[in-house]
């Protein structure tokens, strides 16, 4: 084998073993976590899911696990919005879903679309009616829903009660 080929292979092995994952220093190991959210037994799409760490040993953890439910009500949890999974620990699960009066700003575009930022600016500049679509108890740290994230795959299905539409502002 050519000497340059062997050096290139050794360099690739070294880089892969050195943990070059572009993760921030100090970030703990993350474990796959999905939360499926239903409301009255039906998948709840476009709900925000946030995990609040309540483990005694991890109070003040700077790594925030969160996700957004898809059309099947499934949220794939990502830490700091980009690293798949959550650190081991016990968490409260906060669920929120809000709706804005679309008559002034138009329908809500997908969050990952180029139109979202402009829609959000317009929404924030208008005096709009905002509605909560999930009961308040599920959107506070007093929520009854918890998950204990451990090494391995963590999946949980939860229901957020009856469908509501309560004006927030």
| Domain range list for the chain | 25-92+144-160
pLDDT band at 61 (very low <50, low <70, confident <90, very high): low
CB 135 within 8 A of CB 37: no
CB 22 within 8 A of CB 73: no
Is residue 138's pLDDT more than 50?
A: yes
| CA 149 to each of CA 50, 92, 142: distance values in angstroms, whole numbers, following the listed order | 13, 11, 19
pLDDT digits (tens, 9 = 90+) for 94-136: 999 988 776 666 777 887 788 888 877 777 766 567 789 999 9
The CATH fold assigned to 25-92+144-160 is Immunoglobulin-like (2.60.40)
pLDDT at 19: 44
CB 8 within 8 A of CB 33: no
Name the burial class of residue 1, with classes exposed (0-12), middle (13-18) and buried (19+) by CB atoms within 10 angstroms of its CB: exposed
Cα–Cα distance between 111 and 73 in angstroms, integer?
A: 16
pLDDT at 159: 96
Residues 16-44: what's their mean pLDDT?
Answer: 84
Beta bridge partners of 66: 50, 78
pLDDT at 108: 75
């Amino acid at each position: 084998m050519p000497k340059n080929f062997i050096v290139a292979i050794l360099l690739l092995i070294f880089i892969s073993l050195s943990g070059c994952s572009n993760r921030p220093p100090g970030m703990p190991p993350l474990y796959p976590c999905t939360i499926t959210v239903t409301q009255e037994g039906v998948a709840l799409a476009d709900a925000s899911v946030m995990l609040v760490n309540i483990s005694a040993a991890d109070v003040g953890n700077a790594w925030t696990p969160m996700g957004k439910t898809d059309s099947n009500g499934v949220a794939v949890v990502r830490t700091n919005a980009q690293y798949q999974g959550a650190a081991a620990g016990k968490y409260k699960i906060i669920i929120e879903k809000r709706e804005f009066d679309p008559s002034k700003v138009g329908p809500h575009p997908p969050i990952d679309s180029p139109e979202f930022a402009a829609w959000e600016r317009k929404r924030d500049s208008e005096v709009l009616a905002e509605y909560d679509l999930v009961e308040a108890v599920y959107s506070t740290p007093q929520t009854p829903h918890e998950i204990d994230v451990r090494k391995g795959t963590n999946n949980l299905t939860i229901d957020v009660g009856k469908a509501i539409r309560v004006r927030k502002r």
